[in-house]
Amino acid sequence: MPHAAMTAVPPFFGWRVVWAAFTVAVFGWGIGFYGPPVFLPAIQAERGWPVALISAAVTCHFLLGAVIVANLAALHGRFGIVAVTRAAALASAFGILGWALAAEPWQLFAATLLSGFGWAATGGAAINAMVSPWFARRRSAALSTAYNGASLGGILFSPLWVALIAMLGFAGAAALAGGAMVLALWWLSGRYLAPTPASLGQYADGEAAGGAAPAGAAALPGRALWRNRRFLTLAAATSLGLFAQIGLIAHLVSLLIPAMGAQGAGFAAGLATVCAIAGRTGLGWLLPAEANRRRALAAVFALQVCGSLVLLAAGGTSVPLLLLGVVLFGLGLGNATSLPPLIAQQDFAAADTARAVALVTACSQAAYAFAPAAFGLLRTIAEPWLFLAAAAIQAAAAVVVLGRLNPRPGPAHSPPSARCGSHPPRPRH
């Protein structure tokens, strides 16, 4: 009995990491992504500054975040994921407090330096970096679960920000939300993000043993990644897809109000988020490990093309068609974030995957920072142009992502025959 107890394999730690990353995503998106649209009217009401000025600060927040995301893999390599995540929580807390306390426009833009860093280091690339070391074959399910924290962040924080600002003022709301983020992420990072599979004697997916590393794509060091067609098509397709998504979502509620009223439009926005969770979870758990994920992403874009066209066909008056369009468009919302890291896992060598994901995320974030303004300009011409533009851009994204189907995707996991034993082999000295 003592011998059996000593050799018992500890429970797989990876799913605990997934739920920790889920919580990071709740705070990261709830504060860094869904927060600025609520901050804009709050600052405008308190300071009386032009909406265009505050909107420029929101764009600056996302652009600065894109610069950080592009270098996130290097930051994780130098300082460690725990230190970077804790620094991000502090930066987010002080950044949004800076937004609330800014007495001059330059102070508002200075605050975006902190809030942009906080958003970048708790966003999509960061979640991928937390989860990926623990999963290979089941990475699709793990990432979809972790990324659902982003959708929950929108569901929780969007109304919470409004309520807290009404009760405590912008500064009080920022202090409370930022303090909660620091406390939660400081503890979670040390407890769940510090261990690695090797430090616990475990392998990806909780398998009982590891095997030889699978043969995959050739490494692409330095600038070689930027000359690689697989990377360029993935970055371009993701940027196009998210540009269309963010642009349409930013105006969707106000477009639905004439036909559905404020309460109905709010319900429709919530329905889109629920559909995003359902679509991401379903595809994440059902997508086979060997499936070509570029085709899956193209299908997601095609589904959103259908949703955009149904919204166009509604003519701003047919409530059933408007709801159907919201459902179709919403089903693809989550997968546009979770599928690119899975494509990178298939298309690139393991050493390049984290950097490729970070750079794809940075490119898409830099693109969608301008989407609300661009779609707003289209709206001044004619509202149907928004839906036509969204459909055309999503169709282009589908074509681009299929422009480089990987003929020999690297295996997502080692074959069962390669597994033996129950502990990692000890290094020979």
* In contact, 302 and 355? CB cutoff 8 Å: no
- Here the tokens at position 60 are 């600056």
pLDDT of res. 8: 55
Task: Give the list of residues 6+ apart from residue 133 with CB closer than 8 angstroms, or none.
Answer: 196, 197, 204
CA–CA gap between residue 426 and residue 324 (Å, rounded): 57
Using pLDDT thresholds of 50, 70 and 90, give the confidence band for residue 406.
Answer: very low
Using pLDDT thresholds of 50, 70 and 90, give the confidence band for residue 285.
Answer: confident
Using pLDDT thresholds of 50, 70 and 90, give the confidence band for residue 242.
Answer: very high
* In contact, 151 and 334? CB cutoff 8 Å: yes
pLDDT at 134 over 60: yes
Q: At what angle do helices 51-70 and 371-381 cross, to 10 degrees?
A: 140
DSSP 11: P
Long-range contacts of 380-385 (CB under 8 A, 24+ apart): 383/255, 383/316, 384/312
Provide mean pLDDT across the span 208-229: 66
Report the mean per-residue pLDDT for the chain: 85
CA–CA gap between residue 209 and residue 304 (Å, rounded): 41
- Here the tokens at position 413 are 């996991």
pLDDT of res. 177: 95
Using pLDDT thresholds of 50, 70 and 90, give the confidence band for residue 25.
Answer: very high
* In contact, 85 and 34? CB cutoff 8 Å: no
User: What single string gives the DSSP state of each residue in 67-90?
Assistant: HHHHTHHHHHHHH-HHHHHHHHHH
Name the more confident of 220 and 216.
Answer: 220
Task: Give the list of residues 6+ apart from residue 184 with CB closer than 8 angstroms, or none.
Answer: 23, 27, 89
Q: Tell me which residue of 12, 11, 33, 37 sits closest to 24, measured CA to CA.
A: 33
Provide mean pLDDT across the span 274-292: 87
pLDDT of res. 394: 96
Provide mean pLDDT across the span 14-23: 95
Number of C-beta neighbours around residue 379 at 10 A: 17
Q: Which amino acid, 296?
A: A
Provide mean pLDDT across the span 376-399: 89
pLDDT of res. 262: 73
Ranges 38-47, 82-91, 103-112, 235-244: which has the least confidence: 38-47
Assign 3-class secondary structure to 329-374.
Answer: HHHCCCHHHHHHHHHHHHHCCHHHHHHHHHHHHHHHHHHHCCHHHH
Per-residue pLDDT tens over the stretch 148-172: 999 898 888 888 888 898 899 999 9
Q: What percent of the chain has pLDDT over 70?
A: 89
pLDDT of res. 405: 53
Ranges 1-5, 113-117, 411-415: which has the least confidence: 411-415
pLDDT of res. 377: 83
DSSP 421: S
On the CB side of 427, how many CA atoms lie within 13 Å of its CA?
3
pLDDT of res. 5: 46
* In contact, 245 and 252? CB cutoff 8 Å: no
**Residue with token string 């929580």:** 89
pTM for the full model?
Answer: 0.80
Q: Which amino acid, 10?
A: P
Using pLDDT thresholds of 50, 70 and 90, give the confidence band for residue 204.
Answer: confident
